[in-house]
Structure 1
Amino acid sequence: MKKALLAGLALTAVALGISMPAVAATATARMSLDVQEGNPKHIAATRFADAVSEATKGTVKIRIFPNSLLGAESESAEGIRLGSIQMGIITSSVFTTWVPQVQVLDLPFLFRDDQHAVAANAVLTKALSDSFREKGFHLLGFSVNGARQLMSKDPIVTPADAAGKKMRVIQSPIHVALWKAVGANPVPIPAPEVYNAMQTGVVDFFDNTATNYLTFRFYEVAPNYTKLSHIYAMGAWVVSEPWWQKLTADQQTAIEKAAHDAQADIVPLQAKQDEEALAKTVAQGATIHEVKDKAAWRELMKPVWAEFTPKIPNADTLIPAIEAVK
């Protein structure tokens, strides 16, 4: 009845020569997250969804699905590309098959600190948007999921401490190469198997984020935690390109602004949650180590840059642009 009424009003307006304002169509998106409720990424996504609904007067609704309910990150990315899922915050390394330029984000010590990683968002988004679009993704930007820190049975503070030890790594050539360069023996193991691998002695140490150290009870099998921040885990905020093209220009603008604001929110949320998480692990017997001088680590990892940057498309322009960000 509502559609018939609108159609009747439109015909009447045409007959009387009156122009009617365009009515934005209602659009609904399912947003995939790999984290649980309460995680900074989930909090930021919720704020994003609320801001979009308010800015578009309810014409765009975003439903958030945490805990990998829509599939693991690789499955969600494929779903977004094909249009069966409309949105997601996906770890950047998942996109290397489609957009090999994102491999630069796995280079060790690319970012100076949290602030540098956040500030680089605009440069990364501008440089990579076209490449994402060509593969079916509209890129809304990047957020910092957290810095990778070392988690081990025995204390690891200097590269010499890691030499000869078995290091669990993600299944990435860059991660394998950088730990070989340090002198460790890298062992690629899927994330769900890390706890058991540490418990059974398959590996001696691994890297992950502070919140996960508590959430997944890694402190039980890796009681030593070392703040190295050698690689930042970056999340790509992506939208299915076909779905994006169905939106009005005003709806697109509202979504982009809300995403940008939410992405900036994650780092302070993450910092607060990391501090609280580490305090809880210390209460359970964990020991936190600080690396005061990272020069030795950087020096040993330099060959990784020399080996991989020639293989990464546009690395010669993208890396200097990131490094120039203040």
Structure 2
Amino acid sequence: MAGTALAQGKPVEFRYTTGAPPNTPWVMQLDRFVKDVDEQSKGTIKINPFINAQLGNEQDTMQQTARGRIDMGGFSVAAAAALVPELSLTSLPFYFDSTEQQDCVYDQLIPYTAKALAQKGVVFLGWTHVGSGNIVGKKPFKAPTDVKGLKARSAPTKTAAAFWVALGANPTPLGITEWASAHQTGLVDVSDAPVTYYVPSGLGKIAPVYTRTNHVDAGGIVVMSKAVYDKLTPEQRSALQAAVAKRSAAQLRAEIRGFEQKILDLHVKNGGQIVPLTPAERAQWQKALQPAWPEIVKAVGGNADAFFKLMEDAKKKCGA
């Protein structure tokens, strides 16, 4: 199909899906990627962005990308875990000692990640970033006991569900398109969410209290349907890879992290509340959740034990 399009002098077009809301750094990065692909391919490849979950929530669209119904997209690693469940272990609460260590570990995991995703029908193009996860609700949650017995919105992964179970809460798995309505209707009392999604999505207006546990700094991923990628000409593949390589994962991560404080300031300006934790209060959360790591690994099942060992080995190599 791509060859036919080029023979007719028309660019080959790809649909790119993302749950990112408008006016966020993810959309800025996507718009820039569209231009980079156009430039590197000399106009022979056109990326058509579909933002704000226009094509569906990211768990569904990840599956559709694997089946070749959607060409490519940017996803949270939690969505990638719909295909490779053990990838969700990169979001173990309080696992990494620093952002530098985390980024190093993610990069060490590329060979495994690329191979595992290829076996499920998608080509790994590169890491992006989602941001730091914190506790969201209509009141502060300063201690882990504050969420005990509550209805919690969980990302649709076993790791995310086990996070809430370890705290004594009752998780309900929901995609990002359902977070706001779940809080509005009372389906859930509490969530965890990255600040960079929390405010632009409108969730901050419905669940206006943001407690800074910083228990995870979640990664993101860009993938392409393997069925689509395999039909590209060598020149098209080279152009696509050159466009990806133009912006390093380090740059993309820094852009997202740099956006977080601006979003927090905007949330307060809009009447929201940011609840900081003292080191002692955050240590309570850490103490409650770190012992749950083995149970979380066990809950994920499949190849989780081997993947966790890879993470542990990478963590030692990367230092603190």
Say yes or no: TM over 0.5. Answer: yes
Aligned counterparts, 1:183-262, within 5 A: 183-260=168-245, 261=247
Instruction: Give, as a single letter, the amino acid of the residue that structure 2 aligns with 1:306.
Output: P
Q: Which amino acid aligns with 1:276?
A: K
The 8 Å contact of residues 30 and 64 in structure 1, kept in 2 or not, is answered as yes
Correspondences of 1:1-326 after superposition (within 5 Å)? 27-260=12-245, 261=247, 263-293=249-279, 294-310=282-298, 311=301, 312=304, 314-323=306-315, 324-326=317-319
SS at match of 1:58: coil
**What's the offset of the Cα at 1:248?**
4.0
The more displaced of 40-49 and 177-186 is 177-186
Question: Amino acid of the residue matched to residue 325 of structure 1?
Answer: C
- Say whether the 8 Å CA contact 2:72–2:222 is kept in structure 1: yes
Identity of matched residues, % = 28
Superposed CA deviations along residues 166-205 of structure 1, whole A, max 9, x for unmatched, are 4332333322222222233434455444434434544332
For residues 27 and 201 of structure 1, the distance between their equivalents in structure 2, rounded to whole angstroms, comes to 45
Q: How many residues align?
A: 305
CA displacement 1:72-127 (0-9 Å, x = unmatched) = 32332233222232211122223334323312123212334444443334222222
**How much does 1:156 deviate?**
1.5
Cα distance in structure 1, aligned partners of 2:80 and 2:237? 23
Mapped to 2, the partners of 1:50 and 1:191 lie a distance apart of: 27
Q: Which whole-Å CA distance do the structure 1 matches of 2:291 and 2:200 have between them?
A: 34
Aligned to 1:19: none
TM-score by length of 1: 0.81
SS of the residue 2:15 aligns to? strand
Q: 1:251 to 1:150 in 2, by over 3 A?
A: same
Q: CA RMSD in A?
A: 2.9
Distance in 1 between residues matched to 2:305 and 2:293, nearest whole Å: 14
Give the whole-Å Cα distance in 2 for the aligned partners of 1:285 and 1:208.
Answer: 18
In structure 2, distance between residues paired with 1:147 and 1:290: 14
Aligned amino acid, residue 270 of structure 2: Q
| CA deviation vs aligned residue, 1:34-83 (integer Å, no higher than 9, x gap) | 22333222211222221222223223322222122333323322332222
Distance in 2 (alpha carbons) for counterparts of 1:247 and 1:188: 36
Matching residue's letter, 1:283? K
Q: How far did 1:257 drift?
A: 4.0
Alpha-carbon distance change, 252 to 313 in structure 1, aligned in 2, over 3 angstroms: farther
SS in 1 for 2:54: coil
Within 1, Cα distance between the matches of 2:254 and 2:193?
18
Bigger radius of gyration, 1 or 2?
1
